Amino acid sequence: MRRIFTNLGVSRSVILGCLCIALVMMSGMIQAAHSHPSGQPDHDCSLCIAVHSVAQGSAPMVLHVTSRPVGSLVMARSISRPRRAVHFRLSSRPPPSAHSLLA
């Protein structure tokens, strides 16, 4: 099985992603087509309970953040020699000319 997928160039993450998409679509179709003979939601059906449950509201959390000033432990070093600037001197190979590409 592993050999077939490596020959096709399909990675595990692509297969897992397709599987997840298929499961989400399948669960959506099941929820849309779900019904009971009486036409009323059944109290013993887990799908009916999940659909008709409401998310509970909660009070917002307040976090008290404090900070302390931090001093440096080591003195900053001074640079004894000046830094050299790096320049590109155009010493790389130039692009090929147009007439060499046509040959």
Q: Which of 25, 27, 31 is nearest to 48 (CA)?
A: 31
Residue 5 or residue 38, greater confidence: 38
Mean pLDDT of the chain: 76
80 has pLDDT over 90: no
Instruction: Give how far the C-alpha of residue 72 lies from the chain's centroid of Cα atoms, to the nearest Å.
Output: 37
In the Cβ-directed half-sphere of 68, how many Cα atoms lie within 13 Å? 3
pLDDT band at 43 (very low <50, low <70, confident <90, very high): confident
For the chain, the domains span 1-49
Question: What is the mean pLDDT of the segment spanning 23-43?
Answer: 85
**Global pTM value:** 0.39
Question: What is the mean pLDDT of the segment spanning 16-39?
Answer: 89
Q: In which element (H, E) is residue 12 found?
A: helix 12-33
Q: In which element (H, E) is residue 47 found?
A: helix 46-52
**What is the reported pLDDT for 42?**
79
Residue 82 or residue 35, greater confidence: 35
